[in-house]
């Protein structure tokens, strides 16, 4: 927690929300309030562009997203710093949720951190090609393989996966990366 406070905070929030949604006294109400419902966003509930990023109903969904965060996010938190990392993570997640709202039906409801996590991979892609000093060739290959596997599973998994959220999270992270890296000095 001391080394990567933002990553730790995000995982803790996800876990608390998961426990409250699945075991708390207001399970259905809380889930209903936090899910990304296109209908309710249209009705003016704009917080739903943010709250789905922290909301998971199934344990495996929570576990996979939290594991991905713990595995891949600390290096970015170290490179970007706490504030820029949080801006990149939330920004990519919000971009994914806005794309979901604009491009999917009004009755579409979504949850999960996947768009934000794909945003982190978008930032990584930017760094791998424009700031190569941050990654060894082996690290870059591992990240690319993991990204390809995750993109592939996005398209071959069940229909509950928000494909647009994943894709626009990736694009959003890549688009935010130059802004986030603007004042980060180059490594020698």
- Residues annotated as catalytic (active site), given as ranges: 114, 166
Of the candidates 65, 68, 63, the one whose C-alpha atom is nearest the C-alpha of residue 53 is 65
Q: Note whether 126 and 177 are within 8 A (CB).
A: yes
The three-class DSSP label of residue 37 is strand
The three-class DSSP label of residue 106 is coil
The three-class DSSP label of residue 25 is coil
DSSP codes, 171-188? HHHHHHHHHHHTTSPPP-
Q: Measured between alpha carbons, how far is 3 from 38 in angstroms, rounded to an integer?
A: 37
The CA–CA distances, whole Å, from 4 to 45, 51, 85, 121 equal 31, 22, 10, 18
Of the candidates 1, 99, 116, the one whose C-alpha atom is nearest the C-alpha of residue 55 is 116
Q: Measured between alpha carbons, how far is 33 from 106 in angstroms, rounded to an integer?
A: 16
């Amino acid at each position: 927690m001391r080394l990567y406070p933002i990553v730790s905070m995000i995982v803790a929030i996800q876990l608390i929300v998961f426990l409250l949604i699945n075991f708390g006294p207001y399970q259905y109400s809380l889930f209903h309030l936090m899910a990304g419902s296109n209908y309710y966003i249209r009705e003016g509930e704009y917080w739903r562009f943010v709250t789905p990023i922290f909301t998971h109903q199934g344990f495996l969904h929570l576990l996979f997203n939290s594991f991905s965060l713990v595995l891949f996010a600390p290096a970015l938190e170290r490179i970007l710093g706490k504030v820029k990392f949080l801006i990149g993570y939330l920004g990519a997640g919000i971009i994914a949720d806005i794309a979901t709202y604009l491009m999917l039906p009004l009755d579409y409801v979504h949850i999960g951190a996947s768009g934000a996590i794909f945003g982190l991979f978008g930032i990584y892609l930017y760094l791998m090609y424009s700031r190569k000093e941050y990654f060894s060739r082996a690290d870059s290959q591992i990240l690319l393989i993991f990204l390809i596997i995750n993109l592939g599973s996005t398209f071959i998994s069940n229909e509950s996966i928000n494909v647009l959220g994943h894709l626009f999270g990736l694009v959003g992270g890549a688009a935010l990366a130059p802004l986030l890296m603007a004042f980060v000095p180059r490594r020698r």
